Structures are given as C-alpha cells and as structure tokens.
Chain A
Amino acid sequence: MSWLRNPWGRPRWLIAITGFYVLWSVVPVLLAIAFAFNSGRSRTTWQGFSFRWFTGETGSVLNDPALRDALEHTLLLAVICVAVATPLGVALALGLQRWRGRGSGTVNTLMLLPLVTPEIVLGVALLLLFLRIFPGIGLGTEAQAIGQVTFALSYVVVIVRGRLVSIGPEFEEAAADLGAPPRDQLFRVLLPLLAPAIVASAAVVFAISIDDFVVTQYLASDASTTTVSMLLYANARGAPTPALNAIATVGLVITLATLTAAFLVYRRFAGGKEATSLATLEV
C-alpha cells in the first residue's frame, strides 16, 4: 500500500495494471494488422511477409471487386457526410451560440439527443422512416448518407461551439463597433477564427463515417451499398482470407491519417491546450 502512503510515489501495481491494459488494448489490433501482411491464407498462423492481400492479382483489396467496391462506397459516404454535415453543423453551432431565450433550450437538447441515442434505435427509426414516409428515397446510398449526417451533425456542433466559447464575443463586437454588418462579422471575422475547428470537425465526421456500422447497415439496400464495416461484420466469422485484415488496415490508416493531420492543423492554429482537450473530450 505504499502507493497510498505517498500519493506522488511510484505505485508499482498501478503501473502493472496500466501497462497490461495498454498492451491488452493495442496488441490484438497490431497483430490483426500484422496478419494483413501474411503471405498465406491463414489469419492465425504466420507464413511470411507479403503485400498480396493489398495488391495481389486475385482476392486483394485492390483487385477483388467486392473489397474494392466496399472501400469505394465507404469513402463516397464519408465524403458526402463531410460535405453535408460540416456546413450544416457549423451554421447550427453559430445559430445556437447566439440564440438566447425561447426555443434555444429545446434545440440544444435536440442537438445532443443523437449522441446519446443507441445507434440501433436511430437505425430502426430511420429504417421505418425511409420505408414508410419517404419511400421515394428508399434504402441505399442516400439513406445511408442521411443517417450518418444525422448523428455526425452533433459532433460538429459540439466541436465548433467549444471553439466559439474559447474565442469569446470580443472579436465580433469589435467588428460590429467598427461598423461591420452582420454578414461581414460572420464571413470576415468569425469564420476565419473558426477555421481550425471546422477542419477538425470535418476530420472527425470523416472518421466516424468510415467507422460507422449500425446505421449504415440498417439503411443499406443491396451489395453495392456494402461498406468496409459491413464487410467485416459479414465475414469475420466465416473463413475469409487475410484480405479482411488488409481492408480493415486500409480503413484504419485513412482514419488515423485524417485525424492526425486535423489535430496538427488544430494545434498549429488554435493552441496546444485546446487541441489536447479536443482529443480527450471528443469521443
């Protein structure tokens, strides 16, 4: 119990638990990545290093139609989701920040609800919506994109509002005092100041769109609307090749590269402390 006697000493068993936890959480994924480079067909026995499951002539991410299409569809959805959710969310954040009084409380709650609603509930709700109310849209790419935007929106609002709070109202007030009309206050003062947060939220939206599974699966129509996550779900228990690990690895690299780039941009333009709080709080 020496760790308790001296709360700033070296607590051996805490180090042990933390070390074990970090290994436990990271090593299985690293092994899954390693097996993407297996030269044999096994996902459990190492048979040598190769890129065949990434670029090989058959059955690879690059050349297997099912895998390539899933990757393309995933990226397509992510791009649509960023293009729609980011402007919508930035506008909503700006509006909510300045909107005081009637209705603002309700909208604030409404905006946070998709974050706490279990995805299966949202998936079921949107499935019934597109089957029964908007049969014109129906299931498929549009429905999937709409579903992803619906919960991605909240992330944008939370990130952009965080930045709005930290820059404060002074800049805008100064602009107003100097005679800038509301339009100029928005486009020439606020939006440039918000740029790092907008970049960060776009990256977060991109990443959560790529990693999303439930809503995307519920609103899928046929094989052409299969995403990487859906492919993993459908094949993980079958007898697939390491190509499954390979496509998961490709998705992971894209997600982490996007987030790292956005994090660096954010830190460069908005300060390190805010960037850290963004990384720890935006989950």
Chain B
Amino acid sequence: MQQSRWTWRLLALPGVAWLAVFFLVAFYAVLAVAFGNQDTLSNPVPFWNPLDWNVGYVLEMLRNYWEGGPFLTVSLRTIEFVAIALVLSLLIGYPVAYYTARHAGRWKGLILLALILPLWINYLMRMLAWINLLAPDGIGSEMLHSLGIEWAFLQIGLLDEPGGWLNGQPITVILALVYGYIPFFILPLFVAIDRIDKRQIEAARDLGASPLGAFLRVTLPLSVPGILAGAVLISLPMFGDYYTADLVSASTQTNMIGNQIDIFMRQGSEKVTGAALTLLLSVFLLILMLYYLRTTRQSGTSAQTA
C-alpha cells in the first residue's frame, strides 16, 4: 500500500506544480511589483526579496484613500453598484428560484434549462445583445419609450436624455451587471430551496404557523446559505468587472475599480500603481473568497460522507 500511496501523490504533482507556478508565483509577482519601483520609462522594477520591499506606492495609494481622492470615489462607486446589483438580483432571483424549486411541476426541467442556458452564452455576446437593443434606434429603446418607462426614468433623473441609455448612465451599468451575473446567483439559490424538506413546512403548518409564518420561519432561514453563496459567487467577479461598464457606458463617470486597474495595467503604463490597486482589491475580497471556500469545502465533505 505504501507504494500506491506514493503513486497518488505523484499523480497530483504536475497539477500542483502548475498551480504553484502560474497561480502562487504569479500572485507573488503582483506583490513584488506593488512593493517595487519603476524606472524612468515607468516600467515596473519588481523587488523579489521581501526585505527590500518599498512600501511607497502602496502608502501613497492608501493616503489617496484617506484624503478622499479619486481612488476612494471609484471604490465607493464600485461598492454602491455591486450592492444595488445584489439587491436587485435577490428581488428578481428569489421568486424565480423559489417558483422553479417549489411550484414549477412538469415545467421544472424546461425552466431549469432556461436558467442554465445563459451561463453558457458568452458574457460579451449577452452584452452585445443589449447594446444593439439599447442603441438610440434599437428595439429595446423604442419599447422603453412607448411603454413610458423611458419617461419615468427621465422624471426620476435616472436617465439624462431620451434614448441615451448607453451614454454613461449608472442605472444601465447596474442593470447590465444584474443581467450578466444573475444566472450565477439563481442556481445556488435554486439548489438551496430545492433541498428544503417539504415535511418541515408541513410540520410548521400543522403546529399552527400561518402560511407567511411558515415561509418566514422555515423556508427563508433555510435558504439563507443559498442566498449568501450566490451573493458571494457574483460579488467576486462584479468587483473585478471592467468590461460591463466599458461596453454599456464607456464613460469615466461610471468607472468601477476594475476599470481603474485596467486603465493602469493594460491601456496605460502605470503598472506599479495598477499592481498596488490589484493588491488592495485582493485584500478587500479575501474575506469573501475565504468565506466561499469554507462553505464549498464544508458541503464537499458532507457530500463525501453522505
């Protein structure tokens, strides 16, 4: 048996080595650049030895946050967009997941297929679809106009001008984020609600709970893990998103933190600042990532013992 145990570890070795180099070392490169320096052409000069690390760039960025500079504005805007998108996703997604799990009956398979399908459609194609629809002469804008929705949005001030959905409107970016990520939110939620034992609800009713009481005290608490899992699952990519805002707004007024990183790293040449910002974003998201890993590990082990 000793020999076969080594066989198994040997099998894992190439994959582990791959992840070590292309994930861990790659992330270390972010640290080395963020705590490094730049030459006169503003090319990054990484400092590989942690003892040499230069905290200047990161400190300067933190000072910018402290003094309420542009980084703080962009970060707060990102949090605002993501928070509103999460609330909207919950308001739309919960009824859909609840209906599919509980009431869909013979339609369940078909609706489930419709819920899964968007996951496998290229995100950019789904954004392209909306760009076509929301163009000033697009079918979507015309429908929103004739239904009076455009008028309502203009009155509330969510839209600047008639037909201007794609002209840097925060509401368009938020709705595009919802459209883009909500399928990833609904599925874990569906699984959580689907797993709830119906006998628990029957028991609550038998013991005198009102229908609303049974929903609030049985179904809702039992679906909280699904809500949290879905929320974390879509928050992580939303916090790093730059293409959605770029595509449906293309205005610096709706830039998110991902746009800021993208401007530094890919479009411009301030890679050191970009790496420092990536580092701050990762630290910020670490709590969410660890939470998600912990819950998936737990459900993984319970599935193994079951």
Given contacts A4-B212, A125-B27, A45 and B137 within 8 Å (CB-CB): yes
Chain B residues with Cβ below 8 Å from A213 are: 122-124, 243
Q: How long is the Cα–Cα vector from A128 to B264 in the complex, in angstroms?
A: 13
Given contacts A107-B16, A118-B239, A95 and B29 within 8 Å (CB-CB): no
Interface positions of A (Cβ within 8 A of B) = 1, 3-8, 10-11, 13-15, 17-18, 21-22, 24-26, 28-29, 31-32, 35, 43-45, 88-89, 91-92, 94-99, 107-114, 116-129, 131-133, 146-147, 149-150, 153, 157, 165, 176, 182-183, 185-186, 207, 210-211, 213-214, 217-218, 228-229, 232-233, 236-237, 244-245, 248, 251-252, 255-256, 259, 279-281, 283
Q: Indicate if the CB atoms of A14 and B99 lie closer than 8 Å.
A: yes
17 more A-B residue pairs beyond the given contacts A116-B289, A232-B122, with a C-beta to C-beta distance below 8 A: A7-B215, A8-B103, A17-B95, A18-B96, A18-B99, A18-B104, A44-B132, A44-B139, A88-B15, A120-B242, A124-B274, A128-B46, A149-B22, A210-B122, A237-B131, A237-B250, A255-B121
Q: Indicate if the CB atoms of A280 and B243 lie closer than 8 Å.
A: no
Q: Indicate if the CB atoms of A280 and B212 lie closer than 8 Å.
A: no
- Chain B's closest residue to A156 (CB) is B15
Q: Indicate if the CB atoms of B135 and A44 lie closer than 8 Å.
A: yes
Q: Indicate if the CB atoms of A92 and B14 lie closer than 8 Å.
A: yes
The stretch of B57-65, B69-77, B149-157, B275-283 that contacts the partner chain: B275-283
In the complex, which residues 1-55 of chain B have their Cβ closer than 8 Å to any Cβ of chain A?
3-5, 7-16, 18-20, 22-27, 29-30, 32-33, 44, 46
Of residues A15, A25, A119, which shows the largest number of chain B Cβ atoms within 10 Å of its Cβ? A25
Q: Indicate if the CB atoms of A251 and B125 lie closer than 8 Å.
A: yes
Given contacts A89-B15, A94-B8, A280-B191, A7 and B124 within 8 Å (CB-CB): no
Chain A residues with Cβ below 8 Å from B99 are: 11, 14-15, 17-18
Q: How long is the Cα–Cα vector from A7 to B115 in the complex, in angstroms?
A: 22
Q: Indicate if the CB atoms of B120 and A256 lie closer than 8 Å.
A: yes
Given contacts A94-B11, A116-B236, A252 and B29 within 8 Å (CB-CB): no
Q: How long is the Cα–Cα vector from A185 to B112 in the complex, in angstroms?
A: 38
In the complex, which residues 96-142 of chain B have their Cβ closer than 8 Å to any Cβ of chain A?
96, 98-100, 102-104, 111-112, 114-133, 135, 137-140
B224 at the interface (CB under 8 A from A): no
Q: From B32, B129, B275, B304, give the contact of A124 (CB < 8 A).
A: B275
Chain A residues with Cβ below 8 Å from B9 are: 95, 99
CB distance from B282 to the nearest CB of A (A): 5
CB distance from B285 to the nearest CB of A (A): 7
Q: How long is the Cα–Cα vector from A130 to B240 in the complex, in angstroms?
A: 21
- Give the interface SS of chain B, mostly helix, strand, loop or mixed: helix
Q: From A6, A15, A99, A119, give the contact of B12 (CB < 8 A).
A: A99
Chain B residues with Cβ below 8 Å from A107 are: 12, 16
Given contacts A128-B46, A255-B120, A11 and B103 within 8 Å (CB-CB): yes
- Chain B's closest residue to A45 (CB) is B137
Can you pick out 29 interface pairs between chain A and chain B where the beta carbons lie within 8 Å of each other?
A5-B211, A6-B211, A10-B103, A15-B99, A26-B114, A31-B133, A88-B18, A92-B15, A94-B11, A94-B12, A99-B5, A111-B19, A112-B293, A116-B236, A117-B236, A128-B271, A129-B29, A133-B25, A149-B18, A150-B23, A232-B124, A232-B127, A233-B243, A237-B247, A244-B128, A251-B125, A252-B121, A283-B184, A283-B233
